[in-house]
Amino acid sequence: MFTQQEQEALYKVIYTRRDVRTFLPDAVPKETVMKLLNAAHHGPSVGFMQPWNFILITENTVKERLAWAADKERRALAIHYEEDRQDEFLQLKIEGLKQAPLTICITCDPTRGGSHVLGRNSIPETDILSTACAIQNMWLAATAEGLAMGWVSFYKKSDVRDILQIPPHIEPVALLSVGRTEHYPTQPILESANWEKRRAIEGLIFQDTWGHHAD
């Protein structure tokens, strides 16, 4: 179905993808943005509920307010770490929200599809999991397009709802900054900062039952 070259290209995109924190101000062409959104929109979703929406944020005043919300939460979270770890945590940058020409807020609507959605009635969180699949599709598409993307994960949902005027029942799942960068990391930022290392996959694989490693 796919040539070896196409297969290798897919794996190259998967292994190249990084969370990026510094961006150039150059605008992302509208047609490229639509490619990213369509890639996300073709992600799998439980019951085909397609719970996502996309808010495109380009206004500097809005990005400044989102950056304020992220920085406020980052500082609040820092108290949970010991002194050295706290310093490392506070060095994690959120300036990308202001630098990037585009930030996309991806939301999840748990009411989409009505009261009965195939699969979701048994496992309610599958709506969020479906949205995560859309995010991964978008991230891989951005990587293939030569773009950088950064997932901002420090914020209070109430702050983002207020800033972006999101209805109370809608979940703001992710703030993704998108643009070009001069500094595309060769390894995950948290790994290069010695925050954490990639775990050996052999220790994560069980056979048939939990904790039973394959021979």
pTM here? 0.89
Q: Taking the domains of the chain in order of start, what are their residue ranges?
A: 20-194
Render the burial of 150-162: b for 16+ CB within 10 Å, e for the rest.
bebebbeeebbbe
* pLDDT confidence bin for 164, thresholds 50/70/90: very high
**Nearest CA to 22 among 114, 134, 97, 103?**
97
Which range among 19-28, 61-70, 91-100, 123-132 shows the weakest confidence by mean pLDDT? 91-100
Give residue-wise pLDDT tens across range 17-57. 999 988 999 999 999 999 999 999 999 998 889 999 999 99
pLDDT digit string, tens, across residues 102-160: 999 999 999 887 666 665 667 788 899 999 999 999 999 999 999 999 998 878 999 99
Q: b vs e for 54-75, b when ≥16 Cβ sit within 10 Å of the residue's Cβ?
A: bbebeeeebbebbbbbbbebbe
Angstrom CA distances, 127 to 47, 85, 136, stand at 9, 34, 15
* Residue 82 CA from chain centroid, whole number: 27
Mean pLDDT in residue range 180-204: 86
pLDDT value for 190 = 73
DSSP, residue by residue, 171-191: EEEEEEEEE--S---SS-HHH
- Amino acid 90: pLDDT: 46
For residue 33, the model assigns a pLDDT of 98
CATH number, domain 20-194, options 3.30.1490.20, 3.30.420.40, 3.40.109.10, 3.40.50.300:
3.40.109.10
